[in-house]
Amino acid sequence: MANFTAADVKALREETGAGMMDVKNALVEADGDKDKALEIIRLKGLKSLSKREGREATAGLIVAEVSEDGKNGVMIEVNSETDFVSKSQKFIDFANEVLAAAVAADAQDVEAVLAAPAGDGTVQDLVDNMGAVIGEKIGVRRIARVSGDNVGLYLHRTNPDLPPQLGVFVVTDENAKDVARDIAMHIAMYRPGWLDRDSVPAEVADKERDTLTKLTLQDGKPEAIVPKIVEGRMNAFYKENCLVDQDFAKDPSLTVGKVLAGKNGKVTEFVRYQVGA
């Protein structure tokens, strides 16, 4: 009988994130030797990488970092197939290693992240090895880089048992620095699509206006007042979707734009990442 206990199985499973039977079988094959079992799990996982290509990795976490001078930020979404894996310390450490490699390499897109040096190989090697050990499809989905006078960061745990699955960068000028985090929290909650009305793509605004015009006419409104009604409905569209037009989460009596005006400040950019969204 193999020389290992239930505690050994539990410890190895927590270390690798691999399934219960995979861990037990590896320990049996290794006659209880932990290091041999780890190698067995890794090698078997590498052999089955191609079988996982068609599977979906929709769980995961968001990792992010702001430079010491507060002027640059990098955010990455790293995915796994299950929350069980994404909340393991091994996966969290792996994600932070991916982030560190991306920052060091000044990677601008996912391809550059995967090609970035990491350890004795590349980030792609880290991804493959992690997938091999835990038996799930692992991926780096996207990366955002921002820069400006001030970069604010907010990471949110949508579930207290899981690592952050939502991250927001807000780039402001110095005047708005002290409200950057509050605005980032607002963005996390209210999901604006654009910064302001000028940021809404013309084709999006035109399509919305056309739709609202048709709906207003269908309501039986006189043609003469349709443009005014449509304009009012467009204002509602902008209020729902543009950051500066939204009611400020912390004080709904003010819009985000008015909060910024009170500081004589401005937001120049924002990024909102949510795992799987």
Give all domains of the chain, ordered by start, each with its CATH number: 6-47 (1.10.8.10), 57-147 (3.30.479.20)
Residues 60 and 140: beta-carbon distance below 8 Å: no
> Which tokens belong to 186?
């607002």
Rounded to 5°, the CA angle 90-94-100 comes to: 145
Per-residue HEC secondary structure of 41-75 comes to HHHHHHHCHHHHCCCCCCEEEEEEEECCCCCEEEE
Per the structure block, which two tokens stand in for 263? 């500081």
The per-residue pLDDT string of the chain (277 residues; one tens digit each, 9 = 90 and over) reads: 467 788 887 887 776 666 677 778 778 888 788 888 777 766 666 444 445 455 666 899 999 999 999 999 999 999 999 898 899 999 999 999 999 999 999 999 999 999 999 988 999 999 988 887 777 889 999 999 999 999 999 999 989 999 999 999 999 999 999 999 999 999 999 999 999 999 999 999 999 999 999 999 988 888 889 999 999 999 999 999 999 999 999 999 999 999 999 999 999 999 999 998 8
SS3 62: strand
Enclosing H/E stretch for 86: helix 83-86
* Nearest Cα residue to 187 out of 253, 250, 263, 275: 250
Amino acid in the structure at residue 63? V
Which tokens hold the place of 210?
Answer: 């056309």
Q: Which 8-state DSSP code applies to residue 63?
A: E
- In the prediction, which pLDDT does 208 show? 95
Residue 8: the pLDDT is: 81
pLDDT of residue 49: 46
Distance CA 190, CA 224 (A): 35
Scanning the chain, the segments in alpha helix (DSSP H) are 6-16, 20-29, 34-47, 83-86, 89-105, 110-115, 123-134, 180-190, 202-218, 226-241, 256-262
In the numeric block, the tokens 């924002």 are attached to: 270
Quote the tokens at residue 153. Answer: 């960061």
* 3-state DSSP percent of the chain in helix, strand and coil, to 5: 50, 20, 25
CA distance 142 to 12: 30
For residues 100 and 74, what is the distance between their CA atoms, to the nearest angstrom?
10
CA distance 176 to 152: 10
Alpha carbons 62 and 75: distance in angstroms, whole number: 7
